[in-house]
A and B are shown apart, each in its own frame.
Chain A
Amino acid sequence: MSGHIAPVRQPLITGHKTYHQITEDICRPTETAPSLSWVVAFIVAVTLLGLFVFSVAWTIWVGIGSWNLNRTINWGWDITNFVWWVGIGHAGTLISAILLLFRQKWRTGVNRAAEAMTIFAVMCAGQFPLIHMGRLWMAFFIFPYPNTRGPLWVNFNSPLLWDVFAISTYFTVSLLFWYAGLVPDLATVRDRAVGLRRKIYSIFSFGWNGSAKHWQRWESLSLILAGLATPLVLSVHTIVSFDFATAVIPGWHTTIFPPYFVAGAIFSGFAMVLTLMLIARKVLHLEDYITIEHIESMNKVILLTGSIVGVAYLTELFIAWYSGYIYEQFAFLNRVLGPYYWSYIGMMLCNVVSPQIFWSKRLRTSLFWTFFMSIFINIGMWFERFVIIATTLARDYLPSSWSYYVPSWVEICIFIGTLGLFSTLFLIFTRVAPVVAIAEIKHILKTAGDQYIGPNALAHAHAGHAHGQTVPAEINDLQAGGTVDIDGENDKPLD
């Protein structure tokens, strides 16, 4: 095999897998009855989804007055949750696109699930801008369509409109990228299925047959989509940060926001990927495909982005002081010591201080600490958005209008409900589609699988290369002139 072998890396696929074993392992969850733990998790998720539907219906029926937003704090949990979910939705594309461009092979173990997570997270994120409009049935007003009011167009200079374009483009491109990767794997599931399942997977696998030309175009498509998705993923959170950075509110009007938001998004996205994958690898028995090496790699990204975020927090404070502008200084002093000081402390502890434990190899290769940290970071990143949005608004220009905000039960239920929406979609995904990219894993098996790494690598490669293997029994039959079929099913005409 001509692929090059990197002995420095730990193997990315363990358990001495063959190609067929990979197919078996990864397709199994889609072919067997769900486990009890899945059923319980699904019931919980659907219950929370019901809570989401109820609380959104309540918001629409009663009106936005059912939320505790007020004249001063007009963005609260709604936009906090929106930014939080969008941030989570960044890891999938980062893993599948940027790491593809960098030829990081460990990407293949987690990209499928991470991308699915991205799509579901963006779906959750999208709920908030829609419902916070109050009149959901008017939501189409955000799109520039020819209308009878002039036509009066939307404001193309507004970052809120840029957001509409960014999020919808991101969702569309992520979905296309994810599905293009999924087609060959759905074909694998199709070819193993019988009866109705085979018919269903035939529709969804788009007639894929693995032809050499198709694979060539597929690789070309993946590479170019990765090239397009890379600036896209960076642009999306940049534009989300513009929602704040282009406003003239002290504490929001800063140029550091775009890189700081993007780093934070990757940070929280990887944390959510880890939360999900640590559970999925255990429940779906994927320990051979999502190894400690994968987890360690992701923890390194978390350490890097967490530190970038930490530097950004400190830079903000420094620049606020250095600007000599009292309103800016007050805004930041208020963040740290004001009425919401507890959320600032939570943010600092969860996002900056605690990820530093990953300097230790023992801790970043520990499943317990990784899982613990992944939850911690998700909480911390939620606090970050809350700090930016609510604490900044709480103390505006006139002390007479200063205010404090606690969410109503409706807002809390909507947030918990989106966790239900997210989990429901993810749980369904683990049952119907291969959670690990089968074709991509097979592609790296010989260069990153454990049996091909280490001192025996060359011997193995050589053995695979040798001619004159023992001739299987079927071939001896062939020499007598007959056709041979293993299962006898495949020679039917007009199949």
Chain B
Amino acid sequence: MATIRIEPTIGDPATGTDKEEYARATNRDIFFGLYDDEVKLLDAVRAANEDHLAIDDVYTPFPVHGLDPLLGLEESRLHVAGFVFGSIGCLFGFGFMTWVFTRDWPIIFGGKPYWSVPAFIPITFELTVLFASVGMVTVFYIINGLGPGAEPRRLHDRITDDKFCIAFDVTESSDSEIDRLRQYFNRTGVETVHRKLVAA
């Protein structure tokens, strides 16, 4: 019986080669501040825009209204997905019933025409809603990278609780740039600041 031998990869943390080095090479270095109130957060994001600081992302425990335009986020186009899937469901449902009752196996029910459109409306409607919802929810999870087993970029445990986080990517930043961010955080009333390596 042949023995299988696993070659250690260079820089693999499991093999004990320089863990720190490995981590820095394969991860992003995130410098982030936590605020205790969404009003402070909005002011801070405004200040960052004025100072031309490039925010990597903002994490909040609940949707904060007014944040999207400040971050330059375009309106979500999920409704387009909903419309497309809904249209597919509508056409599929109506088309399928039409095909079954006019082409594949026409049957007369109660002396009505084969192609009895009013009777097809309920199922056509239900399939429209079903396709639109299932399609849109699937798209939502896929574009957000969410799903069972998806690893969150977990910066801090309180972000899903009561802290509002502004994160900067400082992987390639110089010390002076990080100092500038630190001053910015202090100026905008941050509660705490942290630095963390996260998977790229």
Instruction: Please indicate whether A and B come from the same complex rather than being unrelated chains.
Output: yes
A210 touches B160 (CB 8 A): yes
- Cα-based distance from A241 to B194 in the complex (angstroms): 59
Nearest opposing residue in chain A for B109, CB measure = A157
Residues from chain A with a CB closer than 8 A to the CB of B27 are 493-494
| Pair A212/B67 contact, Cβ less than 8 Å | yes
Q: Is the CB of B186 within 8 A of A475?
A: yes
A484 CA / B146 CA spacing, docked (Å): 30
Chain A hits for B130, CB < 8 A: 169, 172-173
Per-residue 0/1 for A162-192: is the Cβ within 8 Å of any B Cβ (1 yes, 0 no)? Answer: 1001100100110011001001100110111
Select one of B64, B116, B191, B192 contacting A485, CB under 8 A: B192
In this assembly, does B197 line the interface, its C-beta being within 8 Å of a C-beta of chain A? yes
- The residues of A that contact B40 with a CB separation of less than 8 Å are 464
Binary contact track B168-200/A, C-beta < 8 Å → 1, others 0: 000000000001001001100111111111110
In the complex, what residue of chain A is closest to B63 when comparing beta carbons?
A215
A438–B190 CA distance with the chains assembled, in angstroms: 24
- Give the chain A neighbours of B78 by CB distance below 8 A: 217, 220-221, 224
Interface size on A, residues (CB 8 A): 91
Q: Which residues of chain A from 467 to 482 have a CB within 8 Å of any chain B CB?
A: 467-469, 471-472, 474-475, 478-479, 481
- Docked Cα-Cα span, A166 to B132, in Å, equals 14
Query: Bound complex: CA of A382 vs CA of B169, how far in Å?
Result: 60
Shortest Cβ distance from B138 into A: residue: A176
By the criterion CB–CB under 8 Å, are A219 and B63 in contact? yes
Known contacts A152-B105, A176-B133: A207-B73 contact under CB 8 Å: no
Question: B16 interface residue, CB < 8 Å from A?
Answer: no
Q: Out of B71, B76, B97, B148, which one reaches A220, CB within 8 Å?
A: B76
Chain A residues lying within 8 Å of B186, measured Cβ to Cβ, are 471, 475, 478-479
Complex Cα–Cα for A173 and B130 (A)? 7
Main secondary structure of the interface of A (DSSP, over half): helix
Contact (Cβ within 8 A) B123 A162: yes
Q: Are A151 and B23 in contact (CB under 8 A)?
A: no
Whether a CB of chain B sits under 8 angstroms from the CB of A32 is no
Assign chain B's interface to a size class.
Answer: 35 or more
Contacts of B190 in A (CB 8 A): 475
Once the chains bind, are B141 and A169 in contact (CB under 8 Å)?
no
> How far is A439 from B46 in the complex, measured between Cα atoms in Å?
24
Contact with A along B53-68 (1 / 0, CB 8 A): 0000111111111111
- Residue in B133, B147, B154, B185 with the greatest tally of chain A CB atoms within 10 Å: B133
Q: Is B155 an interface residue (CB 8 A)?
A: yes
Q: What 0/1 pattern do residues 1 to 24 of A give for CB contact below 8 A with B?
A: 111000000000000001110010
Q: Are A162 and B122 in contact (CB under 8 A)?
A: yes
On whether A224 and B136 interact (CB within 8 A), knowing A23-B161, A203-B149, A490-B194, the answer reads yes
Query: How far apart are the CA atoms of A475 and B40 in the complex, in Å?
Result: 16
Which of A113-121, A225-233, A308-316, A340-348 touches B?
A225-233
> Is residue A144 within 8 Å, beta carbon to beta carbon, of the partner chain?
yes
Instruction: Tell me if A206 counts as interface (CB < 8 A to partner B).
Output: yes
Q: Are A207 and B193 in touch, CB under 8 angstroms?
A: no
Contact B104–A203 (Cβ < 8 Å): no
* Residue in A155, A177, A183 whose beta carbon sits within 8 Å of that of B109 in the complex: A155
Rounded to whole angstroms, the CA-CA distance of A146 and B28 in the bound complex is 52
Q: CA–CA, A242 to B148, complex, Å?
A: 39
CA distance A304 to B40 in the complex (A): 43
Min Cβ gap B5→A in Å is 25
In this assembly, does A335 line the interface, its C-beta being within 8 Å of a C-beta of chain B? no
Q: How far, in angstroms, from A213 to B152 measured CA to CA in the complex? A: 14
Interface pair B193/A206, CB less than 8 Å apart:
no
A191's contact among B37, B141, B154, by CB below 8 Å, is which? B154
A-B contact pairs, 14 of them (CB 8 A): A19-B161, A144-B100, A190-B160, A209-B59, A211-B57, A212-B60, A212-B71, A219-B63, A228-B82, A471-B186, A478-B185, A481-B182, A484-B192, A491-B194
Q: A184-B62, A208-B160, A493-B19 are in contact. List 17 more A-B contacts (CB 8 A).
A: A23-B61, A23-B162, A155-B109, A157-B116, A191-B154, A204-B148, A209-B159, A210-B60, A212-B58, A212-B59, A217-B78, A217-B144, A225-B133, A467-B43, A467-B189, A478-B182, A490-B157
Interface residues of chain B, those whose CB is within 8 Å of chain A, are 13, 19-20, 23, 27, 37, 39-40, 43, 57-68, 71, 73, 75-76, 78-79, 82, 86, 96-97, 100-101, 104-105, 107, 109-110, 112, 116, 119-120, 122-123, 125-127, 129-130, 132-134, 136-137, 140-141, 143-162, 165, 179, 182, 185-186, 189-199
Report the 3 A-B pairs with minimum CB-CB distance, sorted nearest first: A207-B150, A19-B162, A220-B76
